[in-house]
Amino acid sequence: MKVALDAMGGDYAPDITVAGAIDAVTEFDFEVILVGDRQRLQETLAGKKYPQNKLTIFHASETVGMDEAPAVALRKKKDSSMRRAVELVRDGNADAVVSAGNSGVMMATSLFVLGKLPNVDRPAIAAIMPAMNGFFVLVDAGANVDCKPENLHEFAYMGNAYYQAIFNIPSPRIALISIGEEDTKGNELTKEAFKLLKNANLNFTGNIEGKDIFTGGADVFVCDGFIGNVVLKVSEGLADTIIKMLKREIASAVTGKIGYLMLKPAIKKFKKRTDYDEYGGAPLLGINGTSIISHGRSSSRAIKNALRVAAEMSRKRVHERISEQLHAMSFKRDGVRKHAKS
Amino acid sequence: MKVALDAMGGDYAPDITVAGAIDAVTEFDFEVILVGDRQRLQETLAGKKYPQNKLTIFHASETVGMDEAPAVALRKKKDSSMRRAVELVRDGNADAVVSAGNSGVMMATSLFVLGKLPNVDRPAIAAIMPAMNGFFVLVDAGANVDCKPENLHEFAYMGNAYYQAIFNIPSPRIALISIGEEDTKGNELTKEAFKLLKNANLNFTGNIEGKDIFTGGADVFVCDGFIGNVVLKVSEGLADTIIKMLKREIASAVTGKIGYLMLKPAIKKFKKRTDYDEYGGAPLLGINGTSIISHGRSSSRAIKNALRVAAEMSRKRVHERISEQLHAMSFKRDGVRKHAKS
């Protein structure tokens, strides 16, 4: 099992990407291919200890900038570390790919180079987020800002297959993000999507309101990519703000300062439990291969975990499971359509 | 100045609504009309101390249930405490109205009885939410789940007038909730709304991402009612969850328990600072009068503050300001249109 890493992608590349790769090959049983400027990577690796047979370099002469437009990067950066890393998967030289570089370009490159799975209309990003007990998956977290009901239906199947594989749960609870629990609540998009999901071969538990997302109301939350991105970013921003506000209140109280010192282990534990780094990135589901998009600010721990999840997704053939489930679904749907016509 | 209160509306009515009204007339310089079952209200008031000339009862024989559909309630509950309270405003017997009852019915009743302002296409709910420093306004927080760009444009003007009046800020910063800061980021709706807002006579600061909502990036955040409701509910749910998770971590650490006791004043201060009860409810903007919709679970403090905000909005003629600003806007818009045609 080999995972290709865009070693030049991310705000702290290549130092942090290389550190994450070293940790991954040291801790886990797969290989990593560092893709990027060979000389630069050799310098970064120099003097470091790691199992040499599990970490190789694949040279690429260019790097994608964080502000580059996807269309331009696709056309002009044919030898970028990102593109070469994705091509390693296409050509069978790697089983999965991870990049913390420009996420728009990574999405476009993965789609363009690997292609969509049969029966998939719109690939989607599946973000893993921390809840009261454990984690949940949010799909689509930002790939598709304008959706049709059929797209949400498809996202549900993709999120289902992904959750099954990563958390070993045979029948994850799938919920639709809406503004009320009743079938009739929602906007035009979610009301139509609700009808499709009700008849889907999934453990669909209905609409769920924003307030119940973090209390473990479901395992997979389905929404369009605009909503998903807003939910993801609002959550990150609010969690940061609450911790900062609490710290500020504490700093202004004398007994609070002592209290804070005593609380530090609990706050550390809380942070660990809600740490996005635990899964290191979000896969683009619905493409013909395994591609994980990590945050530009990823730590080495996030990179290490993204590599781990990438290997696991590939090992469990998540994209094939998606293909099978969507095939069965489209078969059923077309059957129903034929029946309706006759 | 008189504010009508639907004394039978809300999960803890009439005990909590009456308590809130008593606190309001004791603390502030306006009168409150308790609308509801006279005998029940007299019993609730019995033995309590309050300035009798500032608190009166207006009898209504019916109550709207929390699960009633707006259309049904409008047709069948002609003598409900909610409807009568709104009618007091229509007939000039009260200056503003507050209800913690069924919010869908309150929205429909306010719209039906008071009517829309001239130049308003879609009235919207403006929720006040706590941020890092101070508060911000989110509009629309749930009245319109499917919107056109023109609606968002209108929401911005309404939010502007409301913020000006409540916070005494002459030129609030207006931002559009989107998935990136650049003009080109967003879905079809927000990209078109961006163009309208860029040319509006407002202090429009551009797109804002979810992560920057709580850090004071703007004063008024504009979005469609589906997004607004999701943002509102996700924020409430996440804040609750974070506090609960922190408490749980603390409870499992021995030194943490002592630390928690020392921290209690800081946590209390934090809760107060982020307390939704501080403003007690969200007005429906764009209707011909002042109507505030409070949470069903409102405390007496929330009711008291909702009554205070209602009186303030009426005193500052917020709905007239909205009408003026939208009139100027539509004049400009129609002028531009005429010009474009010639």
pLDDT of amino acid A248: 75
DSSP state of B117: P
Strand B135-139 and strand B124-130: pairing? antiparallel
Residue of B nearest to A252 (CA): B266
Cis peptide before B70 (omega within 30 of 0): no
pLDDT of amino acid B333: 60
| Kind and range of the H or E run holding B30 | none
Which residues of chain A are under the pLDDT cut of 70?
A: 253-257, 259, 262-263, 266, 273-274, 331-342
Mean pLDDT computed over every residue of chain B: 90
Distance from CA of A305 to the nearest CA of B (A): 24
| Domains held by chain B: number | 2
Q: Tell me which of A181, A187, A213, A244 to substitute to probe the interface with B (most B C-beta atoms closer than 10 Å).
A: A187
Question: Within this chain, do residues A132 and A271 fall inside the same structural domain, yes or no?
Answer: yes
Provide the 10 A C-beta neighbour count for residue A93. 12
pLDDT of amino acid A259: 67
Contact residues on chain A for B261, CB-CB shorter than 8 A? 259
pLDDT tens profile A61-90:
999 999 899 999 999 999 999 999 999 999
Determine whether A201 is exposed, middle or buried from the number of CB atoms within 10 Å of its CB (0-12, 13-18, 19+).
exposed
- How far is Cα A119 from Cα A326, in angstroms, rounded to an integer? 6
CB contact under 8 A, B210 and A232: yes
pLDDT of amino acid A124: 97
Question: Within this chain, do residues A233 and A326 fall inside the same structural domain, yes or no?
Answer: no
Q: Which of B133, B111, B101, B122 is nearest to B11 (CA)?
A: B101
Flag whether pLDDT at B276 surpasses 90: no
Q: Tell me which of A226, A255, A268, A275 to substitute to probe the interface with B (most B C-beta atoms closer than 10 Å).
A: A226
Q: Which of B36, B45, B28 is nearest to B10 (CA)?
A: B36
**Domain end call among A279, A296, A326:** A279
Question: Within this chain, do residues B264 and B130 fall inside the same structural domain, yes or no?
Answer: yes
Q: Are A141 and A223 in contact (CB under 8 A)?
A: no
The beta-carbon neighbor of B256 closest among A215, A249, A266 is A266
Strand B31-36 and strand B2-6: pairing? parallel
Flag whether pLDDT at B231 surpasses 90: yes
**How many CB pairs below 8 Å do chains A and B form together?**
186
Q: What are the φ and ψ backbone dihedral angles of B32, each rounded to 5 degrees? A: -125, 135
Question: Within this chain, do residues B54 and B16 fall inside the same structural domain, yes or no?
Answer: yes
Question: Within this chain, do residues B7 and B103 fall inside the same structural domain, yes or no?
Answer: yes
Question: Within this chain, do residues A155 and A294 fall inside the same structural domain, yes or no?
Answer: no
CB contact under 8 A, A230 and B235: no
- Residue that wins the pLDDT comparison between B330 and B322: B322
**Domain end call among B234, B249, B277:** B277
Residues of chain B with pLDDT > 70, as a percent, come to 92
pLDDT band at residue B22 under the 50/70/90 scheme: very high
CB contact under 8 A, B245 and A210: no
Question: Within this chain, do residues A261 and A159 fall inside the same structural domain, yes or no?
Answer: yes
CB contact under 8 A, A235 and B238: yes
**Domain end call among B252, B277, B302:** B277
Q: Which residues contact A304 (CB under 8 A, 6 or more apart)?
A: A20, A21, A23, A24, A27, A280
pLDDT of amino acid B337: 46
Question: Within this chain, do residues A130 and A197 fall inside the same structural domain, yes or no?
Answer: yes
pLDDT of amino acid A337: 45
Question: Within this chain, do residues B23 and B104 fall inside the same structural domain, yes or no?
Answer: yes
Q: What are the φ and ψ backbone dihedral angles of A238, each rounded to 5 degrees? A: -70, -40
pLDDT tens profile B158-172:
999 999 988 999 999
pLDDT of amino acid A273: 67
For residue A255, give its domain range: 126-279
pLDDT tens profile B104-138:
999 999 999 999 998 899 999 999 988 888 889 99
Q: Are A73 and A109 in contact (CB under 8 A)?
A: yes
- How far is Cα B116 from Cα B111, in angstroms, rounded to an integer? 6
CB contact under 8 A, A253 and B261: no
pTM: 0.89
Rounded CA Rg of chain A: 21
Long-range own/partner contacts, residues B53-59 (CB < 8 A, 24 or more apart):
B54/B25, B54/B30, B55/B21, B55/B22, B55/B25, B55/B31, B56/B31, B56/B32, B57/B33, B58/B4, B58/B33, B58/B34, B58/B84, B58/B85, B58/B88, B59/B35
Q: Which of B301, B294, B297 is nearest to B27 (CA)?
A: B301
* Runs of H (alpha helix) within chain A: 15-27, 38-45, 70-76, 81-90, 103-114, 149-167, 188-198, 225-251, 254-273, 300-315, 318-341
Question: Within this chain, do residues A40 and A112 fall inside the same structural domain, yes or no?
Answer: yes
Question: Within this chain, do residues B134 and B183 fall inside the same structural domain, yes or no?
Answer: yes
B-proximal residues of A, 206-265, CB under 8 Å? 209-215, 224-227, 229-246, 249-250, 252-253, 255-256, 258-263, 265
HSE, CB side, 13 Å, CA atoms: give it for residue B252: 11
Question: Within this chain, do residues B245 and B297 fall inside the same structural domain, yes or no?
Answer: no
pLDDT of amino acid B274: 67
DSSP per position, A231-259: HHHHHHHHHHHHHHHHHHHHHT-HHHHHH
CATH of the domain at A153: 3.40.718.10
| Angle at CA of residue B207, ends B201 and B209, nearest 5° | 145
